[in-house]
Amino acid sequence: MKKINLKKIIVFVLWIIGISSFAVLLGFVNAEQKEVVGKSINVIVTNESENSFIDENIVGSYLNDRKDFVINQKLKDIRVVEIENALNAHPAIEKADVSVDINGRAEIKVTQRKPVVRIMNTQGESYYIDSNGKLMPLSDNYSARVPFANGLIIEGYSSFYNYSINKIEEDTILNKLCVIDNVFRVAEYVEKDSLLNSMIQQIHLNAKKEIELYATIGNHKIVFGNSDDISEKFKKLKMFYKDGLNSIDAWNKYSIINLKYKNQVVCTKK
């Protein structure tokens, strides 16, 4: 008959008691944590541009209107996932992260959407396209300082807000019918170039669906054509501004600066 190892039995029993005690203690801790109430909210807004569509007060009002309360709510009743989803659905928010610690302190991190161009279509409807190529409604709180696009633009917000610029470009039919993708690509390039961003104030679609640009300096029209060879066309424009308009009176010498043609700039004098 094998000898019973009393020492091993005692150790095993102690382990069982320890695990059971820990489980009971953990249960008490979890129960106590569930009774903790929300005490504070810290809202952090990340804004990559000077445009400010959202702040701490707007976030607070938005959640209060939805009755997504945190202060004085028990942790078990704070709907973190629902609050996060609601904030991510806000038209001015690109991304939101919500967390609540065991002491009842909530932290809401919000990244604001960044408009690149403002569209005015033929029906008089206006909206933005953001840096991710998604349609964005206007805000009652703020008007963004971005280039303004008008002319023969028929795309409405309600019909296209589910379509990103990438989706439009990937769809053969939409790509042929739409022009906001061309407008966005030009505006996107302008936004990333500090010189162009300070100069180009308007993008216009003429009757031929050609892009025309209007600058803040000089009383002339820049015929851009389509959105092909964007970098090359703007390179020609900047070189012409540097070499061809190097005197004060030259800025008002031309009525049209045409960039459509490869390797040349064709100008029309007033």
Percent of the chain with pLDDT over 90: 45
pLDDT confidence of residue 20: 52
Residue 6 clears pLDDT 70, i.e. is over it? no
Fold category of 40-112 in CATH: Ubiquitin-like (UB roll) (3.10.20)
When comparing pLDDT for 148 and 217, which is higher? 148
Which residues belong to CATH 3.40.50 in the chain? 115-269
- How confident is the model over 32-64, as pLDDT tens digits? 455 677 688 888 998 877 778 888 888 888 888
Question: Containing H/E element for 267?
Answer: strand 266-269
Rg (CA), the chain: 29
Q: With 80 as the cut, is the pLDDT of residue 12 above it?
A: no
- pLDDT range class, residue 4, cuts 50, 70, 90: low
Contacts of 195 (CB under 8 A, 6+ apart): 238
Please check the confidence at residue 27 and state whether its pLDDT lies above 50: no
Say what the pTM is: 0.81
CATH 3.10.20 placement within the chain: 40-112
Strand partners, 40: 105
In the predicted structure, residue 164 carries a pLDDT above the cut 80: yes
Element (DSSP H or E) covering residue 148: strand 148-151
Residue 24: the pLDDT is: 40
Rounded CA separation 65/68 (Å): 8
Taking the domain 115-269, which CATH number applies? 3.40.50
